[in-house]
Structure 1
Amino acid sequence: MPEAQHPVSVQTSTVASMDVRNMTQVTEFVFLGFSGIPQGHIYFFFLFLAIYLVTITGNTTMVALIQMDRRLHNPMYFFLSHLSCIDVCFSSVTIPKILVNLWHQRHTISPNQCMAQMFFLMAFAGSECALLAVMAFDRYAAICQPLRYTHLMSSQVRVPIAVGVWIWGLLDSAIHTALATRLSFCEANQIDHIFCDVPPLLKIACSDTYANELSLHLASIFMGFGPLLFILLSYAYILLAILRIRSNTGRQKALSTCTAHVIVVTMFYGLGSVNYNRPRVGYSLQIDTLISSLYCCVTPMLNPLVYSLRNKEVKAALRKFLVGLKKEYNLA
């Protein structure tokens, strides 16, 4: 005869299955980033709205100028247009949801929306890392290999590179998001942040996060530090080439083509390093919110301003566009 099933084992298995269900029944996450400023939501709404409008206007204008002005049809501005596209996408992942939450004064997001936001945020951040490295190589080729520049940066080369930049970020993000979907949260749903990102989610997860943390460390080395090392190496060769230029005019011209890119790299990696590598203790939630806002919201806004203010060709194209617009308006 078959053995009778022990009632204790049945009860234990039932409780265990209930525990598993309870661990994954988080229906929404709550952002705590603005919890310390309950009376200032309307001011922050208009602040983030202004940042977003400037970001969209500046980056779309940059792309439009590059497409319309033939003087800007070269590899440097080809990659700059991709940087502007990434910045538009980067800010659009976070700011619209922040605006909705500030307007309704309800700082929540569903788990599916959280995973989608985290996926695209990391994808565009990873793509920007790779693109900045490609732009550094473009400057290296222009200054150190001027006779081969046309061949090194031909359309047959730069278009596949641009596609690879986007794939680079998507693959990195897909790994982190796939690992994050396996996490359990045991009814812990309060995130010390203003948007979904991997580190804040790991802090509230109640399941094993070893694989997630390992992937973050590996990504910081290969996806973050790798492109940065490539950028530094490229600029080491660029600096040596500039020092060999005898005329001051030639040196200034070479430096002017690199200045804007150096500023953008410094902002992106500087704020990114502070955002992801700072100690997790000793910082208030307000400081964390400020640093995250600077990294994900302000940096995409400043990039087109840096390139337009530091680049004579972009300023000339902008003046030409405005003059043409004014003439058309007067004729109308």
Structure 2
Amino acid sequence: MSSENRITGHYAVPPELSGKRLDQVAAGLISEHSRSRLQSWIKSGALTVNGKKCKPRDKVMLDDQLELDAEPEAQVTWEAEPISLDVVYEDEHLLVINKPAGLVVHPAAGHAAGTLVNALLNYAPEVENLPRAGIVHRLDKDTSGIMVVARSLVAHTSLVEQLQTRTMGREYEAVVVGTLTGGATVDAPIGRHPTDRKRMAVVPNGKPAVTHYRLVERFAAHTHIRCKLESGRTHQIRVHMAHVRHPLVGDPVYGGRLRLPKGTSDELREVLADFNRQALHAQQLTLEHPETGEILSWEAPLPDDMIELIEALRKHAKELEQSAY
């Protein structure tokens, strides 16, 4: 098999992973592959440390060099399903889609079918041979917007590298509770919540996470913001905005109870009560094409439910402003 069709990579052990087991370090550095696959590569010698075959439980130290050189094989066993996709762009290497809110990305407990992966296997069967069916970054089930999927190993390797080096640009739009006075940066590490393993939280020993946000429009008691990520931690924007006491509207995990602004009209109360997902949309994606090197960018317009939410907040703010005179 030619080298260009193999799964390869070189990784240096960073300070925060020094002294940990090889399988743990591999999972942290090569997160686009499943833990079971990484384990099998370690045992087979496809994943080595400083050129030597090791056991999964062996400890690795700062600056040790992990080298991956493995043959691709069928990576998924899920079924293809004829689920419609909103395809924004496609070629032999890339598939860019606008994911609707409510669509789960990966099959998991409680969602064995009806996911984006099932749809991809039907639309582009070749992704069966790629790690995680070509998905290199995820959106939460109830987050809408732009996602890129690799259709080739060349693309997969390039996209993972762009994510790791933070050269892939991702911007999101969100509506948060409270009135922000200006943009800012949240630089706070994220990891599993210490007592609730289903949630993420800002924790001292978490992975570095940086979110930049700026104001788009301020309402009476809410703010429409645009966020740019430097990292891609699970639930990052949701956790960071809740951390600075401005949780996303409708967030069922980090938003707390419904808070209604003073003088809320019946119309706005109904819109806020019915908005039962986090008000978060992946609006723009910019990356370097894995084959041509061309810088490409795509945008996905706000979905109808967020447009309705913003219009209701804007109308309420104007009504309050007019009643003050």
Task: Give TM-score, length-normalised by structure 2.
Answer: 0.29
Question: Higher helix fraction: Structure 1 or Structure 2?
Answer: 1
Task: Give TM-score, length-normalised by structure 1.
Answer: 0.28
Structure with higher RCO (Cα < 8 A, 6+ apart): 1
